[in-house]
Amino acid sequence: MLTRAGYRVVAPDQIGWGKSAKPNVHYSFHLLAANNKKLLDRLGVKKVHVIGHSMGGMLAVRFALMYPETVDKLILENPIGLEDYRAFVPYQSTEELMKQELAATYESYRNYQKTYYPFWKPEYEQFVAAQAEALSKPDFPNTALVGALTSQMIYEQPVVHEFKNLRAPVLLIIGQLDRIVVGKNRLPKNEQNKYGNYPELGRKTNREIKNSRLVELEGVGHIPHVQTPGRFETSVLDFLRSK
């Protein structure tokens, strides 16, 4: 999409994700942001538009806060962390989280990914298969540990209280059927629907970020760029081309 429109795209896997290394270190959004800045410096890139989806939205916010002179525009696509999970999700130790990661199966991955969409399509199965590749790898216990460490990072390092400090123009793209809450399974059943209200959270965030624009996508869940790529593309390009 972006390359066809004439933009240069740099899309790194963060350490701990994808095909990047998964070291046993203290994970922080500050560390990940600093790694991305070093990559851009190595590539000779001085100014960027930053796009972050889901957890990447939290990282994108941290990057924009740490390096405001580098970020021209910021796009947040259904970012998690629009609320402070520490305020209502019970704490779990890294050891407890790792046990849950180790208990994962292909079916559990599929069931979780089904919450990303209002309805499931066969073409989404490829994303389950990609995630499940780790299950058969000899180093899966280490992958599970890193999954627990990065879950703690999300829980312990909110960015929601700093939205007011963002300086770059911000586009919020919010699928209105998204109800993702990190740690939702730790909440009593009767409280799970109290949180993760993305329509409400998107409008609240739009009010808190002075120079922001909100695009609400009706009938869309957690991953607009997969579910409705055309609407996502139009929203992004209109924003990037605007003055």
Domain ranges of the chain: 29-88+158-241
Residues in CB range of 30: below 8 A, 6 or more apart:
62, 66
Give domain 29-88+158-241's CATH superfamily: Alpha/Beta hydrolase fold, catalytic domain (3.40.50.1820)
Rounded average pLDDT per 10-residue block, the chain, 243 residues: 93 93 96 98 97 98 98 98 98 97 98 97 97 95 97 98 98 98 94 96 97 98 97 97 89
3 state DSSP class of 49: strand
Q: What integer pLDDT is reported at residue 10 of this predicted model?
A: 96
What dihedral angle (degrees, nearest 10) is formed by the CA atoms of 26, 27, 29, 30?
Answer: 30
pLDDT at residue 63 in the model: 98
Do 7 and 47 meet the contact criterion of CB atoms below 8 Å apart? Answer: no
Could you tell me which residues are beta bridge partners of residue 212? 170
* pLDDT attached to residue 211: 94
Residue 146 identity: V
Cα distances (Å, whole numbers) of residue 148 to 25, 145, 154: 12, 5, 10
Look up residue 173 and give its two tokens.
């793209």
* 40, containing H or E segment: helix 29-43
Query: Would you call 146 exposed, middle or buried from its count of C-beta atoms within 10 A (0-12, 13-18, 19+)?
Result: buried
Q: What is the pLDDT of residue 1?
A: 82
Sheet containing 170-175: order of strands:
48-53, 71-77, 170-175, 212-217
pLDDT at 106: 98
Q: CA 218, CA 175: separation in Å to the nearest integer?
A: 6
Amino acid at site 98: M
Between strands 71-77 and 170-175, the pairing is parallel
State residue 243's pLDDT score: 79
Cα separations in angstroms, 80 against 12, 83, 134, 182, 216: 19, 8, 24, 8, 16
